């Protein structure tokens, strides 16, 4: 462990006493802080090359007027000024052993590495032979099933949102879905393009209730003078038993139409809506 050489008479030395007179109480610790810093960073030369006075004062912990501490250290003889920067006075004579400590640490590190280097090189040379790329197993990610091809699970293309394999719509079902979607979109958005979400919802409705039951509800709704898509969805939702004829649903339709709201509704023609 590195350490500083400190004269036993340091605290009563004339330089220390003069520094106390110039900078005040506890100024005797300033040189100690500076020596410890230089010993850790510049043990060979003791030179604070290109350091500004403000930097040195920050190192020693000076809180007084800027420039006074460095000026006092130079005046009493703890610091010397050189063209390259500030130099610790008689650094080599008093703390020259720190350079030897630094050299000894560097030499010890080299010796440790020279002992470890052969082992490190041997590990690096043998590692590629044991890597995955060099492994004789065709599929090393499946070690318990040797010589088996990788299996990739794919999602069935006809898997519906409910998690069931749904068969394609029949011609009659598709025709009904398109008819309701066109009516639905013209009635609400005044557009000829049906959003995909509406088509998906109608498809699910047809599969859940059956094409004939949905057709009955739809025809019963559009036959009313105040038809609205909300009435269609309400009729599907509330009819646990799909009626066999439009007449069987008629009493419930009048009630549903009254609960839709006061929003504008399109006029109904023979094609569905105006």
Q: What is the pLDDT of residues 144-203, one digit of tens each?
A: 555 555 555 454 444 444 444 456 777 777 777 777 777 776 666 555 555 676 777 777
Are 88 and 35 contacting, i.e. CB atoms less than 8 angstroms apart? yes
Question: How many Cα atoms within 13 Å fall on the side-chain side of residue 121?
Answer: 6
Q: Tell me 80's DSSP state.
A: E
**Does this model's pTM top 0.75?**
no
Is 229 a residue whose pLDDT tops 90? no
Between 9-18, 97-106, 223-232, the lowest mean confidence (pLDDT) is in 97-106
Cα–Cα distance between 96 and 5 in angstroms, integer? 9
* Distance, first Cα to last Cα, the chain: 97
């Amino acid at each position: 462990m590195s350490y500083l050489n400190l004269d036993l008479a340091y605290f009563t030395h004339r330089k220390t006493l003069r520094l106390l007179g110039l900078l005040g109480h506890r100024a005797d610790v300033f040189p100690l802080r500076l020596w410890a810093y230089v010993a850790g960073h510049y043990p060979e030369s003791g030179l604070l090359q290109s350091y500004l006075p403000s930097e040195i004062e920050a190192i020693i912990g000076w809180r007084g007027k800027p420039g006074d501490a460095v000026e006092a250290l130079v005046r009493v003889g703890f610091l010397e000024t050189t063209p390259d920067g500030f130099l610790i006075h008689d650094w080599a004579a008093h703390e020259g052993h720190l350079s030897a400590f630094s050299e000894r640490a560097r030499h010890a590190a080299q010796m440790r590495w020279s002992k470890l280097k052969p082992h490190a090189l041997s590990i690096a040379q043998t590692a590629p032979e044991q890597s995955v790329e060099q492994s004789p197993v065709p599929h090393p990610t499946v070690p318990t099933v040797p010589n088996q091809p990788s299996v990739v699970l794919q999602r069935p293309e006809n898997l519906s949102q409910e998690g069931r394999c749904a068969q394609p719509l029949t011609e009659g079902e598709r025709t009904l879905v398109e008819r309701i979607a066109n009516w639905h979109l013209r009635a609400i958005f005044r557009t000829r393009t049906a959003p995909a979400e509406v088509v998906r919802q109608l498809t699910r409705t047809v599969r859940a209730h059956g094409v004939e039951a949905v057709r009955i509800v739809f025809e019963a709704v559009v036959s009313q003078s105040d038809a609205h898509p909300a009435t269609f969805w309400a009729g599907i939702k509330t009819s646990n038993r799909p009626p066999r004829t439009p007449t069987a649903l008629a009493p419930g339709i009048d009630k549903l139409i009254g609960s839709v709201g006061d929003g504008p509704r399109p006029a109904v023609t023979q094609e569905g809506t105006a």
